[in-house]
Structure 1
Amino acid sequence: MKSNVFRRVGSAAVIALLGSIAGVAMFGVGRADAHAGLEASTPAASSVLDSSPPLIALNFDEDIEVPLASITLYDQNGTLLPLGSPRAGTDGSIVEASVPTVGDGTYAVVWRVTSADGHVVNGAFSFQIGTGGGVDSAQLINSVLNGARAEPGVGRGLGFARFASFLGAALLIGGLFMVMTADVDAEHARPTRRLLWCGWVLLGVAAFANFALLGANSQAGSISDMFNTSVWGDVAGTRTGGLLLMRLGLVVAFIPVLLFVNRSQRTWWPLSVPLLGLLTVFTFSGAGHPSVTTPPALWMGVDAVHFGAIAVWIGALAMMAFGGRAWLRDEHLVRSVKAFSRMATIGIPLIVISGVVQTWKLAGGFGNLTDTTWGRILLAKSAVAVLLVTLGGASRWLLKHEGPGGLRRMVITETLCGLAVLGLAAGLVAQPPTLAERSKVFTASLTEAGVIVDVSITPGRVGSNEVHLVITPPGGNLTPVVGTTARMSLPARGIPSVPVTLQASGSNHYTGSITLPFAGEWTLEIVVEPKANQTVLLSSAVPIP
């Protein structure tokens, strides 16, 4: 009965993976998002308005969790202004907040949202009301952004909670696999029961920690804010929060399974274990990068096969290593060890194929893996997995030629490698898989009507940038020019000319700053007055990645 159940589950996993690969061929590459990014806003970034806007609307490139969204508005003195509560726009990628009537001046909008895959992103932009003199928008944004980030401890806590979740799921699911395939009631061994309950506790505590820390992170808070129950309702209304609550419910459902573990007279037991295990795996696959990859059902299926096989593999190794010496000595438990060996024969190819397919999809290919943190972590995980497979091959040889008695030290080494794989997998969850375009300092030498302007824009990326201008008047003389102004615009997004705040740093040398809220090909225009009643316009395209 037990072997038939697992044979059917294994067959279903193979069919699911083959179906997923067929779906990849049918649907093509499609869309693979990393974290949500701001596509447009009302008011537009750096725009100049005649009057106070009625609302602030933010349009992102993927769905966001509106209950956890935060929009704040600061005046040019850095004073926080009251706004209406964030609400959903016309679709799940738009969030809005009403704005009270405000006067002329420069304003900074700071936003913080949680994308549908559970990752928190934030940003800021400025706009101006009226044509009167404002303040340096870059300095204003930098000053108000200081309080818009969660404490480092929140991020570290989330990373540890993810690892504990993976480890708990592996110990519980993989451990129960070994118990189900044993010839005797393996639950009578105290180390076996201890390891199963350890996995249960880890899974439950980590699920709660992930849930509570998601709220603290979304509010840019501290570790203590994870106990702010007023935020829990908002977290529960999100996709990730709902799946974490589902995982907590499954943890409760595992209690009778562990209390009556491997009792053959209870026919419900061997059926409930695979069902609860599959549902637990779904709570992981439904809350990560695959859940926002088109089509989501297909890629969540691929990820479920990948993570489920890893959980059984590493959890079974942990049971053999730390669940009592009887697993590698008792002849009644040898059947379970051999069942694990057969499972690994199927499971390892499933892990490799599903992992390769996911990498191709999420990273957009294999050529840029060394250029992203996600790719480098993935390569490290793959290297450890190769070592793990090599050790597994040696263990299978020992099992075949010398029996299970001499396997313990090798299995412990395999288990430690498996823990490293889980730790690296937890790190992957927090990183965007797509290649982030690197910033590049823009430099150019512009010439018009005998005027030469050497330009540099640093660091040449979205956000605050420093502008340097060195001007050589006609004839190359060092006579100071009468005046210089500069402005930048982004026609593709309808962003009008934004003045660059310039200050003289020496003879014909100007420095300034500007905040560029979006990537794209910006237009830089410089107006130089070599002498009274004479102006020269120089322009250049400035690519911002």
Structure 2
Amino acid sequence: MTLHTLPTLPKRMLAAVMLLVVLALTLAPQAFAHATLEKTVPAANVKLAESPPFVELTFNEAVEPSAGSLEVVDSKSNKIKTEEPVLENGGTTLKAGLPKLGDGVYSVSYHIISEDGHPISGSYAFVVGNPPDWKDGETFATQASNSKGMQQNLLYAVRVLYYAALLLATGIALWSVFIRRPSESLQSAFKRLSLIGMRALLLTVLVHIFLQVNELMKGQPISSWGSLFTNTTTGRAWLELIILVLLGFVAQRFKERFVSLLWVVLLLGVESLIGHPAANDQKVLTIAFDFIHLIASAVWAGGLAVLLYVWYADRKEAGRFGASFSQGALISLAVLVISGVTMTLLFLPKLSYLWLTTWGGLLTVKVVLVVAVLVTGTLLRLRMKKNGFPAGSLLKADAIMMACIVAIAAVFTYMSPLPPNEPYNFHQMGEDMHVTFNVSPNVPGGDNTVSLHVWLPEESGAPKSVILRLHSDSRKDAPIDIPLVKDDSEPNDAFPGYISASYEATGPFLPYASKWTAEIRVMDQDDNELVRETAFRNY
């Protein structure tokens, strides 16, 4: 081995380590999916006559089997000793047996992790018997949602900082590769900003992961945290992300450009594998465009940070670097627009869904800001052609808009792009009839439980017949007749002077996403037909 070959060994070793990290993530069993709670047993806020035998949570996708918790507590916050929670139905249902519960208000809280790395938590209340201090379950649900909202806002704030640090660190690394012979002033800017970006990235990635793990493992001993990072796909992905960030400090010590380029590709590649792109049906295509989107974002964000730094330190150098940046920024913004539009089309089955979610609203704001950035960039180029260096006011405006776009991107990449399907509940009072109609979980293409309760005046007697039909507003198919079965259980609500009748059916009654109209036809003993209609939709 000659002295000439020695420097290549650390480079090859570093490259091998980074490739092994990503290979381990790629070969790990992955089924990333943004799980959402679809159904609970007992149902939220229900009042039961007897103790339920178990608690059951059903999600739309499989959840991680080796992490999380499910707890039941009474109205005095005493924990109920349940059986060990188990996963059923291919990992989509979490179930725990219950001891016999006395009269009281009970709350169920869960902390699980979906396979795209999102900790999911929530709680709801149900009532057994007739406790003397009974309160509506909505009271407890609201308190839980407020607590969850504060935690979610903190997570979003850290996510914004992490996303900004990620783009800053990788963007500066890319520009140090692009600029072949940087001046001493530019080298100083790269070195200074790269160190700031790497430190910020390490800090934010650790805090970001800690907050998610802390939420997920709430109530469990710290000793059990290790199993999360070794026995779950998401935990291993988080661990590998930390390792790659640490390797970035080592990569900075090498002057060879390919080491920095390899580190950027692997880090942004791992980031693309964690989240919504990997949960989409067209997984490979969405991940590829998300990776391209991240690369373009890094080029623009990192270059703008360097230009701002140099503008304050050396105006002449700012003019020289500004020429390269304006060209690179124009290309990166074009790539951002193309990749962003493509991912939106891949995510959404209908563009109209843009106006139905917070995700779509934030994306709309982001598009407006990108257009404003294009205008600002054009003005910057014109100013540089005229005076040789960029205008400070335009640079600051561009930086502010970049910060807003990064913040929006960090938040909405953590949100579901599709509108949520929620159980539908309808209740209507009337002198001739009261009606309650429920559909749960109200999802297209799967089994839904339909329940119908009617109350007729005592003088009218029990219903002679009850017909329930579902009409699709988007298709002119024949209505779907629901095969109702008489349910002998008494409804929770009782109305003096009225006779109740309950019906239920379970099956694939909603074959596709649509706006639906439920037509309820009740015939009393005198052959008087009473008709009620209510509209709901799913996505």
| TM-score (norm: length of structure 1) | 0.68
Partner of 2:403: 419
Partner of 2:16: none
Partner of 2:211: 213
Partner of 2:156: 159
Distance in 1 between the 2:461 and 2:380 partners? 81
Specify whether residues 369 and 41 from structure 1 end up closer, same or farther in structure 2 by C-alpha distance, changes over 3 A only.
closer
Question: One-letter code of the match for 2:122?
Answer: N
8 Å CA contact 2:173, 2:261 repeated in 1? no
Equivalent residues, number: 468
Partner of 1:515: none
1:329 to 303, 308, 316: 316
Question: One-letter code of the match for 2:201?
Answer: L
**Aligned-pair CA distance for 1:414:** 1.2
Provide Cα deviations, 1:45-85, integer angstroms capped at 9, x if missing partner: 979999974x6554422132233433234579986421234
Could you tell which deviates more after superposition, 155-164 or 339-348?
Answer: 339-348
Specify whether residues 162 and 140 from structure 1 end up closer, same or farther in structure 2 by C-alpha distance, changes over 3 A only.
same
Provide Cα deviations, 1:6-41, integer angstroms capped at 9, x if missing partner: xxxxxxxxxxxxxxxxxxxxxxxxxx9984234566
8 Å CA contact 2:424, 2:440 repeated in 1? yes
| Secondary structure in 1 matching 2:432 | strand
Partner of 2:513: none
8 Å CA contact 1:33, 1:434 repeated in 2? no
Partner of 2:68: 69
Distance in 2 between the 1:76 and 1:525 partners? 38
Provide Cα deviations, 1:308-335, integer angstroms capped at 9, x if missing partner: 211221111111112454565139x83x
Specify whether residues 252 and 40 from structure 1 end up closer, same or farther in structure 2 by C-alpha distance, changes over 3 A only.
same
Specify whether residues 57 and 441 from structure 1 end up closer, same or farther in structure 2 by C-alpha distance, changes over 3 A only.
closer
Provide Cα deviations, 1:368-396, integer angstroms capped at 9, x if missing partner: 32232111111111111111111112222
**Aligned-pair CA distance for 1:174:** 1.6
Specify whether residues 246 and 121 from structure 1 end up closer, same or farther in structure 2 by C-alpha distance, changes over 3 A only.
same
Partner of 1:281: 268
Specify whether residues 56 and 470 from structure 1 end up closer, same or farther in structure 2 by C-alpha distance, changes over 3 A only.
closer
Specify whether residues 51 and 139 from structure 1 end up closer, same or farther in structure 2 by C-alpha distance, changes over 3 A only.
closer
| TM-score (norm: length of structure 2) | 0.69
Partner of 1:203: 201
Distance in 2 between the 1:494 and 1:47 partners? 22
Distance in 1 between the 2:302 and 2:234 partners? 25
Partner of 1:242: 236
Distance in 2 between the 1:67 and 1:394 partners? 54
8 Å CA contact 1:375, 1:433 repeated in 2? yes
8 Å CA contact 1:43, 1:127 repeated in 2? no
User: Where does structure 2 lack aligned partners over 5 or more consecutive residues?
Assistant: 1-30, 443-451, 471-481, 501-507, 511-515
Could you tell which deviates more after superposition, 110-119 or 343-352?
Answer: 110-119
Partner of 1:431: 415
**Aligned-pair CA distance for 1:144:** 5.7
Specify whether residues 148 and 85 from structure 1 end up closer, same or farther in structure 2 by C-alpha distance, changes over 3 A only.
farther
Specify whether residues 360 and 527 from structure 1 end up closer, same or farther in structure 2 by C-alpha distance, changes over 3 A only.
closer
2:301 to 284, 301, 314: 314
Partner of 1:114: 113
Distance in 1 between the 2:222 and 2:519 partners? 49
Q: Say yes or no: does 1:376 pair with 2:361.
A: yes
Provide Cα deviations, 1:267-319, integer angstroms capped at 9, x if missing partner: 6x201111111222123222221121113232122111112211221111111
Provide Cα deviations, 1:85-119, integer angstroms capped at 9, x if missing partner: 4344453434343x255368797654443322333
| Secondary structure in 2 matching 1:435 | coil
In angstroms, what is the RMSD of aligned CA positions?
5.2
Specify whether residues 142 and 414 from structure 1 end up closer, same or farther in structure 2 by C-alpha distance, changes over 3 A only.
same
**Aligned-pair CA distance for 1:417:** 1.0
Partner of 2:176: 179
8 Å CA contact 1:117, 1:292 repeated in 2? yes
- What is the correspondence of 1:129-148 to structure 2 with a 5 Å cutoff? 139=135, 141-142=137-138, 145=141
**Aligned-pair CA distance for 1:171:** 1.5
Q: Say yes or no: does 1:343 pair with 2:328.
A: yes
Partner of 1:60: 59
Partner of 2:445: none
| Secondary structure in 2 matching 1:452 | coil
**Aligned-pair CA distance for 1:154:** 2.4
Distance in 2 between the 1:217 and 1:526 partners? 48
| Secondary structure in 1 matching 2:370 | helix
Specify whether residues 275 and 296 from structure 1 end up closer, same or farther in structure 2 by C-alpha distance, changes over 3 A only.
same
Partner of 2:373: 388
Specify whether residues 195 and 135 from structure 1 end up closer, same or farther in structure 2 by C-alpha distance, changes over 3 A only.
same
8 Å CA contact 2:293, 2:336 repeated in 1? yes
Distance in 2 between the 1:217 and 1:439 partners? 26
| Secondary structure in 1 matching 2:66 | helix
User: Where does structure 1 lack aligned partners over 5 or more consecutive residues?
Assistant: 1-31, 261-265, 475-480, 511-517
Q: % of aligned pairs identical?
A: 20
The higher relative CO (CA closer than 8 Å, separation ≥ 6) is in: 1
**Aligned-pair CA distance for 1:540:** 6.1
Partner of 1:81: 80
8 Å CA contact 1:47, 1:495 repeated in 2? no
**Aligned-pair CA distance for 1:123:** 5.3
Provide Cα deviations, 1:154-198, integer angstroms capped at 9, x if missing partner: 222211111111111121122223333152355776554332222
Specify whether residues 111 and 543 from structure 1 end up closer, same or farther in structure 2 by C-alpha distance, changes over 3 A only.
farther
8 Å CA contact 2:175, 2:303 repeated in 1? yes
